[in-house]
Structure 1
Amino acid sequence: MGTEIFVGVLLVFAVITVLKAVRVVPQGFEWTVERFGRYTHTLTPGLAFIIPWVDGIGRKINMMEQVMEVPGQDVITMDNAVVKVDGIVFFQVLDAAKAAYEVAQLEVAIINLVMTNIRTSIGSMALDESLSKRDEINAKVLVAVDLATHPWGVKVNRIELKDIQPPRDLIDAMAKQMKAEREKRANILEAEGFRQAAILRAEGEKQSAILEAEGEREAAFREAEARERLAEAEAKATEMVSTAIAAGDVQAINYFVAQKYVEALKDFAASPNQKLLMLPMETTGVLGSLAGIAELAKAVQDKAAPTSLPRA
């Protein structure tokens, strides 16, 4: 009976020893091995063996990239505005031994580092800069935190500020300021539009006046040219009449006088203020001139007609 108990105890001891000697490390993790409390080496993912009852598993370190929430905190900007800031941090352990034994409470240490550097970065900026330069703040905090966590075997990949929230009264004031700025820009654009329209209208009137003046000048030039040609024609007609009179042709003067008389009567008749035209007794002189014109035309025709041949 005692032997059976001893064998049973021995079997249990053997099973426990095997279990302590064989370790299966899951993917994405690394386990540290301690011998009598002192770190010896690190187990990578897969099947591993250690010395039972001598070696033991120290820390199980997650080697995957991890995400942590950065709790919200009140931060005072350079111009004494209080804003509430929160964010997220992405980090990954690269050296399991350093992460296990170089720092206690790794995640708490990283969060505190991020919060401290966020306060430092935003505290060196004015409110407007902190709201508009979020990428610059992220970059500054990332560089500082990554440098501080390097001795811990940790790589901080990204730090993102999720929200920068000013106080409510400050938000209302900023909204009013933005509205006033937009109204100012709208008024400026409207005034610029009126100014441009006035300039274009003035340019159009100027071009119209120039074209009108050029048209009047051209019309005056053509009118003067027409009067000049009319005067030339009148002088030529007078010269021809004078030549005819000098040659002894009295009918030419009658033609000339009659033409002027008729033109004068035509002008009188075309006048809008004349409804009744009364001719003097000397109108018979005009008839005589017309008769002279007829005789002159007949004489011209007689001279131009060919001489009739004698009949056989």
Structure 2
Amino acid sequence: MPFNPILIVAIVLLVIVLISSVFTVKQQTAAIVERFGRFGSIRQSGLQFKIPLVDKIAGRLSLKIQQLDVIIETKTKDDVFVRLKVSVQYKVIRDKVEDAFYKLDYPHDQITSYVFDVVRAEVPKMILDDVFLRKDDIAIAVKSELNEAMIDYGYDIIKTLVTDIDPDAQVKEAMNRINAADREKTAAQYEGDAQRILIVEKAKAEAESKRLQGQGIADQRREIARGLEESVEVLNKVGINSQEASALIVVTQHYDTLQAIGQTTNSNLILLPNSPQAGSTMLNDMVASFTASNQIGEAMKNAKNAKKTKE
């Protein structure tokens, strides 16, 4: 078979034409096809065909949700410079791929400009503390403004988030000092309350101990008095009068005390007087004292009665 170069060229051209007339579009992607430089159609994902040398793929747009992080530096109402990071989540509207492709060359720049405009209009109205508290309000304001502006360009703003608020370094240091001081103040208050509770409870315990101790001493003295009363009654029955009985009881307690001291080792107590005749001397002195006291009492009573009789 003779070699025919024209046939070979024709076959090659046919293969090139077939290859150039077929293309694929990935999932969640839209391809824009132009015919002689004008918009022709939008092709979705899958295997697609176009007319070679007539149709051209002008570009492709992703239909996935995308995120743009915008960092803005601005000043608050209380003159604090702060850097905010605003994350904008957006996507191309499937029905408006033509607008998204032809109306905007650089959508990122357009979105960034609107974010700057809204943030620098909202933040200067707030003090620094309100910026932290109302960051959601800032995000909502940005989303509302962007949606209104970008919808005409074929873009849908899904969500806006204020993901970072970074004040000046000196301001952050001052805020940390204020926070630390507040925590120390709270800790001191709790410690003071705890100490006060301990003191009150200790005072209550001591008061209760003193009360019980006093009650015990009173009971002890009451029993001693009852015992003395019974002892006097017993001595009276054997012919010893009350004065002698009282003196005898005191002397007996004196000797009991001496015995208790003698049983205690390493005692430095000295009881005066401490002579062998101390007991009898004490007994005689007490009997004489009781007798003299009774005589004086009787004399005063007689004088009082005599005075009443004269009147």
TM-score relative to the length of structure 1: 0.64
Could you tell me whether the CA contact under 8 Å between 1:86 and 1:161 is conserved in 2? Answer: yes
Question: How far does the alpha carbon of each residue in 1:216-237 deviate from its partner, in whole angstroms, 9 at most, with x for none?
Answer: 1343144224423542564366
Equivalent in the alignment of 1:79: 78
Alpha carbons of structure 1 residues 194 and 264: separation in structure 2 relative to 1, 3 Å: closer
- Greater shift, 259-268 or 14-23, is seen at 259-268
SS at match of 2:104: coil
Amino acid at match of 2:218: A
Of 165, 170, 173, the residue aligned with 1:172 is 170
Q: What's the CA shift for 1:21?
A: 3.0
Mapped to 2, the partners of 1:86 and 1:173 lie a distance apart of 18
- Greater shift, 51-60 or 92-101, is seen at 51-60
Equivalent in the alignment of 1:153: 154
Mapped to 1, the partners of 2:212 and 2:184 lie a distance apart of 42
Equivalent in the alignment of 1:217: 215
Query: How many matched pairs?
Result: 262
Could you tell me whether the CA contact under 8 Å between 2:235 and 2:245 is conserved in 1? Answer: no
Identity of aligned residues (%): 21
Amino acid at match of 2:277: L
Mapped to 2, the partners of 1:66 and 1:191 lie a distance apart of 51
Could you tell me whether the CA contact under 8 Å between 2:67 and 2:87 is conserved in 1? Answer: yes
Map residues 247-286 of structure 1 onto 2, 5 A cutoff.
253=239, 266=252, 269=255, 272=271, 273-277=273-277
Alpha carbons of structure 1 residues 197 and 265: separation in structure 2 relative to 1, 3 Å: closer
- Unaligned 5+ segments in structure 2 are 259-270, 285-311
Q: What's the CA shift for 1:36?
A: 4.5
TM-score relative to the length of structure 2: 0.64
In the alignment, is residue 46 of structure 1 matched against residue 71 of structure 2? no
Amino acid at match of 2:176: M
Question: How far does the alpha carbon of each residue in 1:156-185 deviate from its partner, in whole angstroms, 9 at most, with x for none?
Answer: 344444544434xxx324423532452354
Could you tell me whether the CA contact under 8 Å between 1:121 and 1:141 is conserved in 2? Answer: no
- Unaligned 5+ segments in structure 1 are 242-251, 284-312
SS at match of 2:110: helix
Mapped to 2, the partners of 1:133 and 1:85 lie a distance apart of 13
SS at match of 2:90: strand
Could you tell me whether the CA contact under 8 Å between 1:30 and 1:45 is conserved in 2? Answer: yes
- Greater shift, 97-106 or 263-272, is seen at 263-272
Question: How far does the alpha carbon of each residue in 1:252-277 deviate from its partner, in whole angstroms, 9 at most, with x for none?
Answer: 548x9998897576456567323131
Alpha carbons of structure 1 residues 105 and 76: separation in structure 2 relative to 1, 3 Å: same
Mapped to 2, the partners of 1:134 and 1:122 lie a distance apart of 9
Could you tell me whether the CA contact under 8 Å between 2:104 and 2:153 is conserved in 1? Answer: yes
Alpha carbons of structure 1 residues 124 and 37: separation in structure 2 relative to 1, 3 Å: farther
In the alignment, is residue 34 of structure 1 matched against residue 39 of structure 2? no
Mapped to 2, the partners of 1:28 and 1:129 lie a distance apart of 40
Q: What's the CA shift for 1:69?
A: 4.2
Equivalent in the alignment of 1:99: 100
Could you tell me whether the CA contact under 8 Å between 2:85 and 2:163 is conserved in 1? Answer: yes
Could you tell me whether the CA contact under 8 Å between 2:31 and 2:60 is conserved in 1? Answer: yes
Bigger CA radius of gyration: 1
